[in-house]
Structures are given as C-alpha cells and as structure tokens.
Structure 1
Amino acid sequence: MLERQVNTKMTDILAESVFATSLVLLIFYIFHVGRAKALNKRPGWTWVLAGLCVLSFTSTMHFWRHLDGAAPEGDPDGAWAYQIGQYVVGFLGGMVLLTVGLLRVVADSRRNEQMLTATVEGISEGLIYFDANDRLVLVNGKIAEMYPLARDVFVSGVSYETCLRTGVETGQWGPEDGDDVETWIRRRLDHHFNPNGAVEFNMPDGRIIRVEERKTRDGGIVGVRADITDLRQARREIEAQRDELEKLNAQKDRFFAIIAHDLKSPFSGLLQFSKMLATRSSSMSPKEISEYGKMLHRASEQAYKLLEDLLDWSRLQLDRMEFEPAAMDAKQAIETSLNRLGPLASAKQITLRNDADLKRRVHADAHMVDTILRNLIDNAIKFTPDRGMITVTSGEVGDFGFIEISDTGVGMDPGKLEKLFRLDQKLSSKGTKGETGTGFGLLLCKELVEKQGGQILVQSTEGRGSAVRFTLPLHPN
C-alpha cells in the first residue's frame, strides 16, 4: 500500500513537471506564431513542435499513471473510461497539430521553391549551377535562350565537359584563335574548375558572351553568362564619338593656328608694302612704285584667297555652304582656271597644258569645282620651279569623270604625303620662289570633292613632282 502511494506521488510530481514544461513550450509557441505572422512567415515547424509537446504530455501521463495497464484501484469503471477518453482526445489533438504543422512545412517549402524559381528565372543573365561532383543542378531559361543550338544538353545531372562537347558538335560554340577542339575544351575546363574573374568568348554567330564563375562553400560552381554584344557595340560607338570629338578639337586648334599665324603673314606684307609706298613714294622711281604695287597686290590676293578658303571650310563644317549640283562642262571650267592663273605661271616661266578630254558633263557644283581647280593649280605653280610644266588631263572611269593636275615640281616624301589631308598636322611650307603655304587648301579640296560624292588621290615622288586626281559623278544625261 505504501509503495502504491509513493508511486502515485512520484507520478503526480512528474505529471506536474511535464505540464509545466508543456505550458512553457505553449507560451513560446504562441509568441513565435505572433512574431512569425508579423514578419509574414510560415511557422510550420512551430505547429509540429506544439503537436509533439501534446503527444509527449499525453503519452507520459498515461504511461506513468497506468504502468500495469489496468484501471486504478478503487476507481469506478466510469472513471477509467473517462481517463482513456482524455488520452485519446489528447493523442488525436497532438496528431492534428503535428499533421497541420507538417503540411505547412511542405507548403512553405514548395512556396520557397517557387519563389527561388521565379527569382532565378527573373534574372536577366544566364544562371547555371554545378554541384561538387560537377553535375548540373540548376539552370534558368536564359541559358537556353543564349545557347539555342545546345539547349537540349542542359538537363539535371549532366557534366560541364558533356555540355562543352555537345556545344561543339552542334556548332553553338567552338575553338578560337586556331586552337584544336581538345585544347580549347581543356582551357575551358581549367577556367571552370579554377575560376579567376570574368572571361569573354566570341560566338560563331558574332555575339560576345561574358562568363563569370565562382566556387561555393560546398565545392559547387555557380556561373553567370551575359550577352554583352550590345554593350561592346555601345562602347565602340562611344569610342568612335570620342575619336571624332578629338579630331574636331584638333581641327579647331589647327583652324585657330591658321588664323593666328598663317593669316598674319600676308597682312604683314600688306602693312609693310603699303607703309613703304605711303612714306617713300615721293623719292621712288615709277619702276620702284610699280614693283611695290605688284608686291602689294600679290599679298592682298594671297590674304583674300586664304580668307576665302577659311570661310568655305567653316561653312562646310557648319553645313551652311550652298550646294547646287547641276550638269557642267568640266573642260570649260579647267580652261577658265588656267586662264585666271596664267600670269602666276608666266612669272615663273611655267608651261600650262590643257589636255582635258572629258566629253560628257559632270554632275557637280560649279563654285565648288572652281575652288578645287583654283587651289590645286595654284599649289602646282607654287611648288614647280622655273621653266617647269603643269598638265591638266581628264577622262572617265565608270560612272565618274576625273580631272588630274600633274606637275614637274619638288614632290613630297612619303611621310609628308601621309599627313597631307590631316588638319591636326601642320604642313606649312614655302614654294620654289619662297611663296608661303598652309596646306589648308588641299584639305578644303578633299572636303569639297567628297561633298559632291567624289574622291581625291595624290601621288608624289620627291624631286620628280606630284599628281592630284579627283573624281566627280557624271551627269546622267
């Protein structure tokens, strides 16, 4: 009897302890549920914990109170049935909580998986993951879009080497820089297993793919693929714009240099000769006055031509120069220019020959053609020594007519010839009689020719002379 009472007392103490523990766990559960809801989480494991607590409490109470499996002594049969009912209700309640918890854990897991899938698929770059055994685990749809010819190889469990070889077989990618297939695959595998920053690959279809891979803590490899073709194109365009801006800046510097230096020279002559005539004309002979008058006229003419070229060039740059192409007789334009520049050639006893034989008319702007001929023939006279010869020829090449001015002058070396049409290079040089020149006229001629759809070409041999040919479209009628 005494032993029975002791056992009952110990059972009561144990039951009270289990009850207190369960109560603490229940309070924790309620607090955890509240926080989880505030954080918009799914506390599935809390439901599992609560179910286990109820099952543990019910089972313990039943085990310790009824170790012999019989009804307590002195208890009526109705009390025993009532206690059994309590146990069944507690057990079923615990199982419900446990089942609900497990269902919520499964639902949360699926929801998290869906969120992860949506996140991975929403990435604009291709994402691929290989585990520590180099088996494909995860790949998003962007990879299939980037590699359409090899899309079928990206299945779970395939190795990276298999992906490489399949891509080569389908023509999706392949060796670069003359490598054979095996060498190329070894290099790609080495970069895959020992990633060290991003690498760019040129695809056979012209695209550029940037590959960046990193190792994970568990030994796997996660890789990101990005199509940077448009980015590279944009960079090339930016670089081209930068180069163009640098070129324009050099042209601006050269333009101001011409204005500051080369335009100063003819005006210095004007001031000097006009001052001589103003202060000493009374003591000069008529012959001296005539000579100074001629020098004054040449200086004025030189300044006027340079100003005219500068204005034409500036109008071209601002797209404000009038351009009115029409049918014109190139042979007549050549004759007019030769007659206008005849006195300059005669002063150096230079023979001007007009061998132009272009029978069809050209489609060009008469003012621009006149400016081109004036500059090219004047240049030829300037750099041809006394008793030399300048010949103008013309003809047809396909749908274009050409005019060529050749001379027996001093010519140019290859270095100077290469810089001939560059405004950022200073090419001022003196003629055979000390005539000043800026090289600006040739640049203007090039732009005027190209404005009309033609091309200009210069051939020169130092000590033997030069030949400048430019083309103009033939008039259709």
Structure 2
Amino acid sequence: MKDKPTRQELEIQISELKRQNEELKSIAIDFHENERFNTFDKENLKEVYVAPIASIFNNMGDSVFVKDDQSRLVLVNDAFCELFQLTRAEIIGKTLAENVPIDERESFLKIDRAVLTEGIENINEETLTINNETKIISTRKSRFIDSNGNKFLVGAIRDITEKKNAEKALKENENKYRKLNATKDKLLSIIAHDLRSPFNNIIGLSSLLQKRSDSFEDKQSEKYIEIINSTAKETLILLDNLLNWAKSQTGELNIKSEKISLSKTIEQVISLENKLAATKEILLKYKCLDEIKICTDQNILKIVLRNLISNAIKFTKNGGKINVVSAKREGGIEISIEDDGVGMSKKTVENLFDIYRTKTLLGTANEVGTGLGLALSKEFVNKLGGEISVISEVGKGSKFTIFLPFKLNNSE
C-alpha cells in the first residue's frame, strides 16, 4: 500500500481541479440548487466531469473524494467506490452518511462541518461499518475554496484494519508473555523461599528425634512427630498446588465432569483435614442440610475444599472452631467454610484471590503461606462454572462461600 499522501501532494491534486474550475463551478451550482440537482443527468455528469478528473486520483492507493459545502460527494476515485462497494452513480450527490450506523454518521458529518467552517485540516482514526463489516480507517480532510468562494472538502481514506489488528494481537501477546513471566517469577519465588522453611523443619526435627530419641519422654517425642507430620502434609499441599497451578497456567488442566455425592466428597476432605486440625485442638465440623448429587469434577472440587479448610485451620487459634455447611440453592449448591479465627482487613480481602498482589501471612502457629491456595481455589471454582466469595472482619473470623451449578456446561 502506498504511503499516506502528504498535504503537498493533495494540493497538487487540487491545482489540477482549478483547471476544471468552470466545470466545477457549474456542477457546484447545480448541487446547491436542489431542483436542478434532482433533474441532473448523472450519466452526463460521469462523462463530462467525473471521468477526466477521477483519472487524476485513480493512481493513488487510498480512497480519495471531494465534497461540496453540504457534504455531498462530487468526485470520488475507484478506490473509494471499492471501499463503499457502490458505483459512482450511487455515490455522487450523496453524503453516504445514511449507509453507516448513526454514531459513525454523526462523527463523519461533524468533522466535515468543522473542516468546511474552520478550514483546519483534520487527521483522524475512526470506524467505518459497511454491510455489517466494521473497518478501522484513517481519514485526512482539508478545505479548498475556489476563486468564487465556493467551499469544498478534499479528503483521503486509508483502510488500516489489518495494521490495527496486528497491533492489537502484538499487544495481547505482549501482555500474555508479561503474565507468563510474572508467573515464572512467582513460581521460582515459592520454590526458592516458601518450600525451604517446611523442609528445614522436617529435617531439623527428624534429626533431633534420631539423635536424642533415647532421652525424650513419650509425650515430647509424640509432639515432635505431630509437628513433623503436619508440616509434611502442609508441604505436600503446597507442592500439589504448585503442580495444579502450573497446569492451569499452561492450559494443561482438564476438567472432567462426573456425578458425585456432595456430602461424601466433603466428608472425605474433612477426614483428612481433621488430623491437621487436631494438632491445634480445633473443632472441625460438617453439617449437610440437603443430600445432593451434582455433576462436576470431583478432584478439582476436593482441591478447592482442601485449600479453603487448610486456610481456615491456619488462621484459627488453638481451641477454635470451623464449620462446613452444604445446602441447595436456586440453580445450584452452596458450600460455606466459616471459622472464628483472626479474620482479615478490608484491604486484605480485596487482594485475597490475586496471587500477584496478596501478601504472605503467617498462621496463628507461625505456619508459612504463599497465597497460592486461595488464588488457585478461585480459578478452579470459576472453571467449575461457579463463584467464590468471602466475608471477614479482623478478630471475628472469616466465612468463605462457594456456589456451584448442579451440572457443568460440558457435562452429559
């Protein structure tokens, strides 16, 4: 495609128009006098005026046009006809505003009026919708006044749709790579820092048991073993979250729908998490208000429940309570996990599900955390077609609520 014409190039074209001034004058007069224009022979117009003048413009790659002071077209080149998919006979004498949506029409005519009135050249990017196809165009409009004071608008249009689409795709790819890079940095940060601490606990305590097992009383030994066990379980959860998060970010996570008993699924998770809760003497209870069967991915749901319950245990003090409740709701089911733990501030809640913005907080027993579990839970709940919300207040605990449809969209 040729480069956009400069003002100097347009002025050269205009100078060619001056040589046809007498003919232009008579045509302009006819356009101003509606009665005469309505009876004007368009074929005669094409032969006498349009054909010789248009040849000047047809060697330009852009769509070129000339309008009178009422924004009616008096001259167009072949590229302009191709752009609007109309013949010259269908174009000359019209504004073509009626061929485009109202918002575009008002924009075109407003710019035309401003250029004709003020004489200030206008260069603009806008949309052009023709036959339900929207293009992005770059327009350049200037005013020309002939020796008799008649005002004309000379313009050029360039279709830049492909260029803009390419720029958009490039920007989207750039954002995608930025996100992937941030994901990589976060992943490395978790591996480098957050995994070291629990492994150091496991190694340190197990070494202590190994070296001094004969001198420990049974209760003391049992306490260390419990810490090792809970630390190992937390670390395993973290590793699972890392693997699942990596699969989710790379698009390798497959959602498989199956018919399951909701209460049995929750009870299985509760059974595993009860051992962790017992180390802090936390009472973890489950209440099923309705016996429900749903079609969803059981493994994904278990990951979400395990993360939310583990999070509740982490931020609940020794001797606290956690209640898990499931019930039917309109259009689906609801599962709530409520604790009487330390709670969260409004600012913490706002960033809670964003792994890139949430801050790592220690649990009530100095348990380490990454924020990955909650971010992963929200992402997985969304993949299951549901929503997750949280209500929390500092010092009064937190309540996480999951809503899931009875049936996944891709389930049979």
Q: TM-score, normalised by structure 1?
A: 0.62
Matched, 1:393 2:325: yes
Matched, 1:128 2:65: yes
User: Could you tell me which amino acid in structure 2 is paired with residue 414 of structure 1?
Assistant: K
State the alpha-carbon separation in 1 of the partners of residues 222 and 281 from structure 2: 21
**Shift in Å, 1:394:** 2.2
* Aligned counterpart for 1:209 among listed residues 137, 140, 161: 137
**Shift in Å, 1:266:** 0.3
Q: TM-score, normalised by structure 2?
A: 0.71
**Shift in Å, 1:122:** 6.9
Contact 2:342 2:396 in 1 (8 A): yes
State the alpha-carbon separation in 1 of the partners of residues 251 and 220 from structure 2: 46
State the alpha-carbon separation in 2 of the partners of residues 218 and 275 from structure 1: 98
- In structure 2, do the counterparts of structure 1 residues 123 and 378 end up closer, same or farther at CA, with 3 Å as the change threshold? same
Mapping of residues 349-428 of structure 1, within 5 Å: 349-428=281-360
Deviations 1:13-63 (A, max 9, x none): xxxxxxxxxxxxxxxxxxxxxxxxxxxxxxxxxxxxxxxxxxxxxxxxxxx
State the alpha-carbon separation in 2 of the partners of residues 274 and 420 from structure 1: 34
**Shift in Å, 1:323:** 4.1
Gaps of 5+ in 2: 1-46
More contact order relative to length (CA 8 Å, sep ≥ 6): 2
RMSD: 4.0
Count of equivalent residues: 353
State the alpha-carbon separation in 2 of the partners of residues 264 and 465 from structure 1: 29
Contact 2:115 2:143 in 1 (8 A): no
User: Could you tell me which amino acid in structure 2 is paired with residue 212 of structure 1?
Assistant: R
Contact 1:352 1:391 in 2 (8 A): yes
Percent identity, please.
31
Contact 1:270 1:300 in 2 (8 A): yes
User: Could you tell me which amino acid in structure 2 is paired with residue 416 of structure 1?
Assistant: T
Contact 1:149 1:170 in 2 (8 A): no
Contact 2:326 2:334 in 1 (8 A): yes
**Shift in Å, 1:154:** 5.0
State the alpha-carbon separation in 1 of the partners of residues 401 and 330 from structure 2: 15
SS in structure 2 of the partner of residue 283 of structure 1: coil
Mapping of residues 20-419 of structure 1, within 5 Å: 120-121=57-58, 125-129=62-66, 138-144=75-81, 146=83, 155=92, 163=95, 171=102, 173-175=104-106, 186-189=113-116, 193-195=119-121, 198-202=123-127, 207-213=135-141, 222-229=154-161, 231-321=163-253, 323-419=255-351
What residue number does 2:30 align with? none
Contact 2:314 2:364 in 1 (8 A): yes
Deviations 1:304-360 (A, max 9, x none): 221122122223334444543210011111122222222333443433332233433
The structure in which a higher percent of residues are helix is 1
Contact 1:147 1:172 in 2 (8 A): no
- In structure 2, do the counterparts of structure 1 residues 143 and 459 end up closer, same or farther at CA, with 3 Å as the change threshold? farther
State the alpha-carbon separation in 2 of the partners of residues 221 and 329 from structure 1: 73
- In structure 2, do the counterparts of structure 1 residues 202 and 396 end up closer, same or farther at CA, with 3 Å as the change threshold? farther
Contact 1:357 1:395 in 2 (8 A): yes
User: Could you tell me which amino acid in structure 1 is paired with residue 266 of structure 2?
Assistant: I
The structure in which a higher percent of residues are strand is 2
**Shift in Å, 1:131:** 9.7
Structure ID, larger Rg: 1
**Shift in Å, 1:253:** 0.8
SS in structure 1 of the partner of residue 213 of structure 2: helix
**Shift in Å, 1:435:** 1.6
User: Could you tell me which amino acid in structure 2 is paired with residue 195 of structure 1?
Assistant: E
